[in-house]
Amino acid sequence: MILLTLNEHEETVIDKIISAISDCIQIEPMEITPISVLSFPGLEIRQSQRRVFKDEEEVNLTRLEYNTLVFLASNPGIVFTQAQIFEAVWNMDSDSCHSSVVNVIYNLRKKIEPDSKKPTYIKTVLGVGYKFDGETPGNDD
């Protein structure tokens, strides 16, 4: 699945293109309503404002930290490889993504986790990658 964010003009152009080709192929439009607030115990992500709160205190994140957090938190329980995270967040091929993703996850954990050495939100899945645990903090996988 590909998710695009379009401005009003781009959306109008896409609608015209879809309308023009819909006679040739069968297309079923799908309405996606973005979740404006992702809320977890002790953590809230207000997407429309690009703000993150840990225990009701605002956390300042870099663009890559924020985008990584939103990507993972929007897909709780799903395990992503470093390459998948890199390609989704950096919008680039993942030839040398290892250190970039590891550094962003490390910094993100320091900022949002109650204890960055025992993460409750962003879990490491050994040999695979990372997943976001949207359950109550303190769960052990």
In a domain? residue 21: yes
Tally: H helices and E strands in the chain = 4, 7
Buried b (16+ CB within 10 A) or exposed e, 108-120: bbeebbeeeeebb
Structure tokens at 32: 């996606």
Does the pLDDT value for residue 34 go beyond 70?
no
* Parallel, antiparallel or unpaired: strands 57-59 and 43-46: unpaired
How many domains are there within the chain? 1
Q: Indicate the burial class of 101 (C-beta count within 10 angstroms; 0-12, 13-18, 19 or more).
A: buried
List, for residues 94-128, the tens digit of each pLDDT value: 666 667 899 999 999 999 999 989 999 999 999 99
- Model confidence, pTM: 0.70
In a domain? residue 2: no
Residue 18: domain span:
8-132
Does the pLDDT value for residue 92 go beyond 60?
yes
pLDDT computed for residue 80 by the predictor: 95
List, for residues 40-83, the tens digit of each pLDDT value: 999 999 998 999 999 999 999 999 999 999 999 999 999 999 98
Q: What CATH number does residue 40 fall under? A: 1.10.10.10
Give which of 75, 52, 68 is closest to 1, Cα–Cα.
75
Does the pLDDT value for residue 12 go beyond 70?
yes
Does the pLDDT value for residue 3 go beyond 90?
no
In a domain? residue 138: no
Give which of 60, 64, 37, 39 is closest to 134, Cα–Cα.
39
Does the pLDDT value for residue 23 go beyond 80?
no
pLDDT computed for residue 128 by the predictor: 92
Q: Indicate the burial class of 43 (C-beta count within 10 angstroms; 0-12, 13-18, 19 or more).
A: buried
In a domain? residue 137: no
Give which of 103, 83, 101 is closest to 93, Cα–Cα.
83
